[in-house]
Amino acid sequence: MQLTELAIDGVFEILPTRHQDERGYFAETFRSDWFAANVADVPFVQENQSLSRSVGVVRGLHFQAAPFAQGKLVRCVAGAIFDVAVDIRRESPSFGKWVATTLTAEKGNQLWIPEGFLHGFCTLTPDTQVSYKVTNYYDKASDKGVLWNDPQIGIQWPDIADPASLSAKDQVQPKLADLPAYF
């Protein structure tokens, strides 16, 4: 596996090695011992999957507060997404900064987002499926977020990002300046 740390400490893009022949390919997409030695020694306790039918669907920006804070290992199993992580660790030198990468099923790359980050994405193709492992269970009371287009954060979303695709919850998220200190 190839590992690339992005511009914010602790956020990694992971590219599994694909062994190809005339039939297609084989890849190990996750290996606990390698992940613990190279990225983070964390347990994964739940795996989630979403389907977004249209191009430009925006999901996020989400996180879970303690005691149910989550790290996420995200991959696109069909289609492509513009995937974003925003640092909301108050004492971090990169607080309020964001990084993004394009995850595609074709490439097979993944994004590791540790606890203390917002996560969101925009679909780049129709019928996009996203799968992600998390380090803690979903808890409705701990489910939090920030407005996807908060100007203080300044994410440069793709032009196709469609505000009409936001869930009711995501349409009314607070701005970062109004978010209590969770991390």
Q: pLDDT, tens digit, for every residue of 43-100?
A: 999 999 999 999 999 999 999 999 999 999 999 999 999 999 999 999 999 999 999 9
Structure confidence by residue, pLDDT tens digits, 144-154: 999 999 999 99
* Whether the Cβ atoms of residue 3 and residue 39 lie closer than 8 Å to each other: yes
**Full-model pTM:** 0.97
Neighbour order of strands in the sheet with 80-87: 98-104, 80-87, 117-123, 58-64, 143-145
Structure tokens at 107: 């490439």
Q: Which of 19, 25, 132, 137 is an active site residue?
A: 132
Name the band, by pLDDT with cuts 50, 70 and 90, for residue 180: very high
The length of the chain, given as a count of residues? 183
The pLDDT confidence band at residue 140, using thresholds 50, 70 and 90, is very high
Give CA–CA dist 57/59, Å, rounded: 7
pLDDT on residue 2: 97
Rounded Cα distance, 14 and 21, in Å: 22
119 is catalytic: no
- Token representation of residue 32: 């606990």
Element (H, E) at 64: strand 58-64
Contact indicator for 182, 89 with CB cutoff of 8 Å: no
CA distance 147 to 175: 5
Separation CA 55–CA 82 (nearest Å): 11
Enter the tokens of residue 84: 């974003």
Active-site annotation holds for 19: no
Annotated catalytic residue within 19, 25, 62, 119: 62
